[in-house]
Structure 1
Amino acid sequence: MDTKLPDWDDADARLLDEASALIAARGTRGLTIAELAREARVSRPTIYRRWPGTDEVVRAALLRQTVLIVAQLSTEESTREDLVAEVLRFSDLFREDLVFARLLEREPEAFTQYSLERIGSSQRVMLHWLEEAIARGQGGGTVREGAPSDMSVMLLLIVQSAVLSHNAVSSLIGANEWRAELTRAVDGYLRP
């Protein structure tokens, strides 16, 4: 799976950082082009030259946050155990990220709009990382056979469902137990 990331220059990165800060503070509905321009101390046309509207700014900001999280993951893991540990690390980093934590806590419906209605750029970044990690694990014999592209899609669905539902089920399962069960689910799926 080839994932082409946007080529964000320093100005784009600064605007997306400001957008992320606004989303973390006010949610997706609290982000407007006018407010972003004010916070970033740029004109609205400067923003409109990069993105046609608020939805595109939100999508770009969420993509950038995902890229920053995935950049913290190992690209050297070669065993199933390493892959499981990194998937759990991703879930921790995702839930601890100020933007995603805010959305999970106060605006979970945003994930329906920006993640669940279609496979977006943020998910493609994760799919690319998973596919490569699965292929490395298969090369070492610790991950079962199968098309890494297909397996990465199913693994994304498992992890995405668990992470996005974590708050909803937190009264039914403790944090440590949730983590242990997600570990078993991911490990069991990948085990030869």
Structure 2
Amino acid sequence: MVSIRNPERSVEQRILDAAAACILAYGVERTTMTEIARRARVSRPTIYRRWPDIRWVIAELLTVRITGVLEAVPDRGAGRESVVGRVVAVADHLRADEIVQSVIRNAPGLAMTYITDRLGTSQQILIDALAEAIKAGQDEGSIRAGDPRGMAAMCLLITQSTIQSAQMVAELLDNEALNEELAHSLNGYLKP
């Protein structure tokens, strides 16, 4: 259903949905603005008015998907166990997300930007949410003292590495074991 209040959002959503479909059909490297425009039923200039190039479209798509997972996994309350449970659940969802995994596996140049060079929007959102949860856990007494943002950044690094490298250790750690080990790592890092 098209929103009367914000028809612009529906165009952007169609573009992002088309980009996701293209990534699944052709892979990241062969996804083009032309094909996205065709699938979204918009002109290429319509896309270019919103994003300067394909990398920005894909980055926006990733932000929407990652923040969507964060919103879909409920806040489990204050306390280290709750915080860790939510982080592990978000990581589990992202490891199963075809678009996220396609970018990690098939567009290493794009992925490396957000792994080694700079924090992306979704990473900033995750750090903000985690810092808030860490602060609540500190106030509650189940998370050690320290700068919540710095600790959130470290939790992001631990978790992001797990998401990126899960396939590499799949023979050693199935999905359940990986979740258990990630929880153990984060609990050990955060405990007082």
TM-score by length of 2: 0.88
1:53 corresponds in structure 2 to 53
Which amino acid is 1:166 matched to? Answer: A
Quote the Cα distance in structure 1 between the aligned partners of 2:129 and 2:18. 26
Alignment CA distance shift 1:76-1:162 (3 Å): closer
Per-residue Cα deviation, 1:113-150 (whole angstroms, up to 9, x for no partner): 34432111121111111111111111111111111011
Q: Secondary structure at the match of 1:29?
A: coil
Matched, 1:10 2:28: no
**1:115–1:123 CA contact under 8 A, matched in 2:** no
2:169 corresponds in structure 1 to 169
Quote the Cα distance in structure 1 between the aligned partners of 2:114 and 2:81. 31
Alignment CA distance shift 1:114-1:157 (3 Å): closer
Paired-residue identity, %: 36
**2:142–2:191 CA contact under 8 A, matched in 1:** yes
Alignment CA distance shift 1:115-1:26 (3 Å): farther
Q: Secondary structure at the match of 1:28?
A: coil
1:76 deviates by 5.2
Alignment CA distance shift 1:108-1:92 (3 Å): farther
Which amino acid is 1:142 matched to? Answer: S
**1:24–1:103 CA contact under 8 A, matched in 2:** no
5+ residue gaps in structure 2?
1-7
Which amino acid is 2:91 matched to? Answer: S
Which amino acid is 1:90 matched to? Answer: V
1:179 deviates by 1.9
Quote the Cα distance in structure 2 between the aligned partners of 1:25 and 1:137. 43
1:28 corresponds in structure 2 to 28
2:106 corresponds in structure 1 to 107
**1:131–1:152 CA contact under 8 A, matched in 2:** yes
Matched, 1:181 2:181: yes
5+ residue gaps in structure 1?
1-7
Kindly report the root-mean-square deviation, in angstroms, between the aligned alpha carbons of the 2 structures.
Answer: 1.7
